[in-house]
Amino acid sequence: MSQRLVQQTSRLSLVSSRHENSTARPRLSRNCSNCVCSPGLLSRQNRRASIIAKRMNLKRSSTSGSLTRSSTRASLIGEDDELCKTAKEINTSKRLEALRHEMKSEDIAVYIVPSEDEHQSEYVSPKDQRRSFISGFSGSAGIAVITRDPMSMNDVPDGLSALSTDGRYFIQAENELDFNWKLLKQGVKDQPTWQEWAILNAIQMSLDSGLDIKIGINSKLFNYTQYSELSKQLKDQVYKTITEKKLEKNPPSIDIIPVKRDLIDAIWSQFEIPPTRPASKLMKLTENFTGDSVSSKICKLRNSLKTKYSHTNFVVTSLDQIAWLLNLRGSDIQYNPIFYSFFILTNDRNILFCDLQERLDDNNADIAEYLATNGIEVKPYSSFYDELVSISGDIQEFLVPNSCSWAVCQQLKSKFKLIDSPIELLKAVKNSTELSNFKVAHSKDGIACIKFFAWLEDQLVNKEELINEHDVACRQEEFRKEQPNYVDLSFETISSTGSNAAIIHYAPPVEGSSVIDPSKIYLNDSGAQYLEGTTDITRTYHFTQASEEEKQNYTLVLKGNIAIENLKFPEGTNGYMIDSIARQFLWRKGLDYKHGTSHGVGAFLNVHEGPIGIGFRPHYAKYPLQAGNVISNEPGYYKTGEYGIRIENVVYVTRDEKFDQFLKCVNMTRVPYCRELIDTSLLLQEEIEHINSYHDSIWREFNSQLKNDCVTLNWLKRQCQPL
């Protein structure tokens, strides 16, 4: 390392430590007047403005047929509503106080705020980020529970608040939640689930007050299966309490009730300008990308329902399923090419609920005719629930997906049966056209990422530049934009240096982002949406001299990744059964990671796609992997406060050439691993050969494309040298 780089690294460690500590929970300081900007709330607000600024305009070019991104920049924050510039911990007390006043008006003692929208989407638009608004926690998964003491006579109602999330977000939640909130860590021993916490608090309030306690839920946002499970747990816990405390004469009285108006929406405008629900322009995908027509897909759906249930009365509420079924795409939710809609299938009708006219212009006006030609009626989005009541009144039974909301089941006048959506299972098996396009997308993404990582190393090591995580993520997107048919990122880029890499779903803030320290591990998890397919890649690099511990743990993660790719498994094998294959090398050292090993990936759709995957959740045991599935392969290891490691490829499942009844996974990701972090002494010869073969294929594919780019070519050549 040069003398200048040594001096810079010393200087950088001071800068970096300050920035890294900026994400940790700060000490309470004096609040500014009427300030509600906790770190999580600031983060959400900044992202909301960014979402509008980045909102893509889905329209076909009159010449190329590709998508263009709108360059219009807009702000949802008025001049009088400007947020504080300093990210310090200010409390959410005023928001909770306002919410408890609304709870009192509805006679509710417990209010549950989920992360999802009416379609049970994993990622939601700013309009539906209610849980983030009330808690300050900006992660994509979690449930907030707020209580109100019915005996409190104070002007400011008393109560408790808890946020439950999984292991991917423990560190982030601890950083973002203020002193009002208790963090419930899902899956951790001796930690209550959010259901247990809500029920036990409700029971105690009923015992203390002698009153009927109501648990309120916006039924449009709450999964029906979750509601059923919560109801059962409530009944069981009440019975247990009565039995243990011998309360036959004065038992606790608790009910779960649907709230007709959303209480977060009722207070939102008191604190900031409420976002509106977007209505992006629609785009029709041709069969060159989908490999199947909408009429064929509807026919397959009807045949599947008819064969198994003898009728085809079915409600579709998941946005990605509707987009896939109709070969249409939108941009209502950032990074997800989907649009707000519902769909009802009966024995003789296909009805799309979507505000179609708002989504058409001169470039896509033929979509209205396209839908009509395929026998699809179009009705306003807002009429869905009323039409559901009307249609179900003339039908004996409706089939509804397990993912649908409690409100959908409430509205049905007929009997209903919860089922696994056939659409979810159909779209999880990619056809030959989709698989071919996926390979094209990953080739494009490979060259973009190779250029990016070569550029990054050059900036950090050769030019000794100071550059932060957020700016680096923006530069990475610029490389992707150079590729034909690029549409958008597929999720918010995880660009993390040093201890930030230990935060599994870390996202660098626009302001206060850490400067990348070349003497520490850098983890980059990113992906893109191309017309040809969706990508998702994680690479962990070290740009100087890694420690022996870092090399060991990186190599153990890499061995787990390779083990999945080298595995041959019989038909009928599910992801729950093979999850330990990826973890075995870490387990031998007493190490593990708190996320699944794999998730499904959509074809120019959501980057997280059900129902298949590889993981420790029992859900994965229900769905065997099939030829045509496209999934991630992403073992990792995270040492809190120091570093994080993850290696992620996207693979497709196919039949093994030698054993017809066996399947295997084939890697489509085209970016080399980090040579500086590989400890060859921990690798078997067949693992070394696997890595060398992979790197050689990347070199042969891309070296001719880089002959005029010496920085990238030299970087790629060095990374792809045989071990």
Alpha-carbon 489 to chain mean position: 13
Whose CA is closest to 561, among 495, 456, 634, 469? 634
Residues 112 and 224 grouped into a single domain: yes
CA angle 177, 181, 187 (to 5 degrees): 85
Pick the last residue of a domain from 221, 236, 268.
268
The answer to whether residues 535 and 634 belong to one domain is: yes
66 belongs to a structural domain: no
User: Helices (DSSP H) in 32-155: which residue ranges?
Assistant: 39-54, 93-105, 130-135
Please give the Cα distance from 638 to 417 (Å, whole number). Answer: 42
- Domain range enclosing 407: 283-418
Spatial separation of the C-alpha atoms in residues 226 and 147, rounded to whole Å: 19
Instruction: Answer yes or no: are the C-beta atoms of 202 and 215 closer than 8 Å.
Output: yes
Q: Which of 554, 350, 497 is nearest to 18 (CA)?
A: 497
Helix boundaries (H) for 357-481: 366-373, 384-392, 406-411, 422-428, 432-457, 469-481
Domain-located, residue 278: no
Name residue 451's amino acid: K
Same domain for 530 and 391: no
Q: Does pLDDT of 403 surpass 70?
A: yes
pLDDT band per the 50, 70, 90 thresholds, residue 248: confident
Question: Same domain, yes or no, for 347 and 463?
Answer: no
- Please indicate, yes or no, whether residues 443 and 352 belong to a single structural domain of this protein: no
- Asked whether residue 400 carries a pLDDT value surpassing 60, the answer given is yes
The CA radius of gyration of the chain, in Å to the nearest whole number, is 26
* E strand spans, 504-658: 522-526, 528-530, 533-534, 537-541, 568-570, 598-600, 609-614, 630-633, 636-639, 643-646, 649-655
| Cα(321)–Cα(177) distance, integer angstroms | 34
CATH code of the domain containing 571: 3.90.230.10
Which residue reads 């990671």 in tokens? 593
> How far is Cα 145 from Cα 108, in angstroms, rounded to an integer?
12
Backbone torsion region of residue 107, taken as left when φ is above 0, otherwise alpha when ψ lies between -120 and 50, otherwise beta: left
pLDDT, mean of residues 25-39: 36
More confident: 569 or 141: 569
**483-495 per-position pLDDT tens digit:** 999 999 999 999 9
Residue 78 counted as domain residue = no
Determine, yes or no, domain membership for 74: no
Tell me the mean pLDDT in the region 259-288.
95
Name residue 385's amino acid. Answer: Y
* Amino acid at site 248: E
Judge whether residue 70 has pLDDT over 60. Answer: no
In one letter, which amino acid is 368?
A: A
425 occurs within a structural domain: no
On whether the CB atoms of residues 443 and 326 are closer than 8 A, the answer is no
From 418, 452, 482, give the residue that closes a domain.
418
Number of structural domains found in the chain: 3
Backbone angle region of 622, left / alpha / beta, with phi > 0 → left and psi within -120 to 50 → alpha:
alpha
| Tally of CB atoms within 10 A around 282 | 26
Task: Confirm whether 707 is domain-assigned.
Answer: yes
Q: What pLDDT is recorded for position 246?
A: 87
Same domain, 338 and 316: yes
Given a cut of 50, whether residue 22 has pLDDT beyond it is no
CA 131 to chain CA centroid, Å, is 15
**Strand runs (DSSP E) across 516-595, as ranges?**
522-526, 528-530, 533-534, 537-541, 568-570
Quote the pLDDT of residue 90: 53
Does 257 share its domain with 365?
A: no
**Range name among 141-155, 429-443, 449-463 with the lowest pLDDT average:** 141-155
Structure tokens at 308: 């198994």
For 489-518, letters b (16+ CB in 10 Å) and e give bbbbbbbbbbbbbbbbbbbbbbebbbbbbb
Asked if residues 337 and 605 have their Cβ atoms less than 8 Å apart, the reply is: yes
Its pTM stands at 0.87
Q: Are residues 302 and 264 in the same domain?
A: no
Are 569 and 700 contained in the same domain?
yes
Residue 583 lies in a domain: yes
pLDDT tens column, 509-563: 998 899 999 999 999 999 999 999 999 999 999 999 999 999 999 999 999 999 9
* Residue at which a domain ends, from 220, 238, 268: 268
Helix 710-719 to helix 685-702 angle, to the nearest 10 degrees?
Answer: 160
Both 224 and 372 in a single domain?
Answer: no
The CATH number assigned to the domain holding 251 equals 3.40.350.10
Span 280-303, mean pLDDT? 97
pLDDT digits over 160-216, tens only? Answer: 999 999 988 998 999 999 999 999 999 898 899 999 999 999 999 999 999 999 999
Judgement on whether residues 252 and 310 belong to the same structural domain of the protein: no
Is 248 among the domain residues?
yes
Condensed to tens digits (0 to 9), the pLDDT of residues 656-715 reads 999 989 999 999 999 999 999 999 999 999 999 999 999 999 999 999 999 999 999 999
Contact status, residue 504 vs residue 543, Cβ threshold 8 Å = no
Q: Are strands 328-329 and 283-284 parallel, antiparallel or unpaired?
A: antiparallel
Whether residues 368 and 515 share a domain: the answer is no
